[in-house]
Structure 1
Amino acid sequence: MSHLLRQQIEKITPLSDGEFDYILSHFKPKKFKKHQFLIQEGNEVPNDFFVLEGCVKAYHVSNDGKEHILQFGLQDWWICDFNAYFNQAKATLNVDCIEDTEVLCLSLYHREKLCSEMHKIEHFFRRKSNAGYVALQQRILSMLNNNPQERYLQLLELNPILFQKVPKKLIASYLGVSRETLSRFGS
């Protein structure tokens, strides 16, 4: 499954076999069961996660107990509480498994080591970070400007696999609507 990581990196920069083997040696594979936490609010966040298989959700629980989903992580996606990871702070998000999941874990130490040693990896992570900023900005603008049905249709177009892997109540939470409202959209 590590070929997924190589494919993702090589969309941005080519690698020799030796370079990829060296990069991969800095990651630790780990398996999680359905409902198991990768990250739990209040804990340290030592790793960023690259999803090899499975499905996870990143969310925050507000003071009133409502779950607000920020992101889903499917195969070939990165997921983390980036504030906690980069600032070595306590997590303000939870990331848990919607189904059994296999990930590659990358510690901040190993990420920084790779970036300082290999311009290609520094370039890769910069490009991935930039893409993440753009996606976050688009999500915020969509929440501000689009009605719930438009957000639903946009999600369906961008990530149709989510509707096969993720329960409707979680998609409703991600879209900021009730489960009943979501069902009216014909999902």
Structure 2
Amino acid sequence: MSLSSEAMQQQLREHLEKIVPLTEEEFAWVLARFTIKRFKKHQFLIQEGEPVKYYYFVASGLLKLVYTDDSGKQHLLSFAMEDWWESDFQAFYTQTPATLSLECLEDTVVFCLSLEDYHQLCESLPQMARFFLQKSTLGFIAAQQRLLLLLTTNAKERYEQLLTKYPALGQRVSKALLASYLGVSRETLSRLTS
């Protein structure tokens, strides 16, 4: 499905206004801070070792955020789909090389926000600073919940909770990727789901 520019702009506005109200003029100013980019399946938005130029809002598509350890093993940290924000946040905020990679699992369209534009939004519109604070807080909560799940539940429980919370993910992501995200082998996940 290909969204028109107008539909994507409306999507961004509705997303922002779930948290903060914006006048027409304010939203036009906010929108001018973003650029829209389109990526094909398997393209990278961020690659390990490179600069991280943007904080991304997903208009359409699906991404995976991955850490590759010294032995070459990939660890899937998160998925990002429509109406989610994603980046290698440490690298973005500190302007250091990426330690993570962000790859498209589907053709994807994103709104891109540079660090300079992020700071402009937060300094010029207090409600945008409030918006990003709430998004960051919710992200920290989600990360803590995921860590607790990994520490306190078995693979089957994690799988069931993931599909309860994000039912569309099971249709859009391979079992191998779900297994990686859950911290189990593909074979283990197959046994749990058969």
Give the count of matched residue pairs.
187
Q: CA offsets per residue over residues 87-128 of structure 1, 9 Å max, x none?
A: 010000000000110000000000001100000100000000
Give the fraction of aligned pairs with identical amino acids, expressed as a percent.
Answer: 50
Spell out structure 1 runs of 4+ moving beyond 4 A: none
Partner SS for 1:174: helix
The aligned amino acid for 2:31 is L
Equivalents in 1 of 2:163, 2:191: separation in Å?
Answer: 14
Report what 1:113 is aligned to.
120
- 1:156 matched to 2:149? The reply is no
- 1:123 matched to 2:130? The reply is yes
CA shift, 1:155, in A, is 0.3
Equivalents in 2 of 1:130, 1:50: separation in Å?
Answer: 16
Alignment of 1:86-101 (within 5 A): 86-101=93-108
Alignment of 1:64-79 (within 5 A): 64-79=71-86
Segments of structure 2 that go 5 or more residues without pairing to the other structure are 1-7
Equivalents in 1 of 2:97, 2:52: separation in Å?
Answer: 7
Equivalents in 1 of 2:173, 2:24: separation in Å?
Answer: 35
Segments of structure 1 that go 5 or more residues without pairing to the other structure are none
Higher deviation after alignment, 160-169 or 85-94? 160-169
Report what 2:13 is aligned to.
6
Report what 1:173 is aligned to.
180
Q: CA offsets per residue over residues 38-64 of structure 1, 9 Å max, x none?
A: 000000001000000110100111122
- 1:85 matched to 2:88? The reply is no
- 1:51 matched to 2:58? The reply is yes
The aligned amino acid for 2:105 is I
Equivalents in 2 of 1:107, 1:58: separation in Å?
Answer: 19
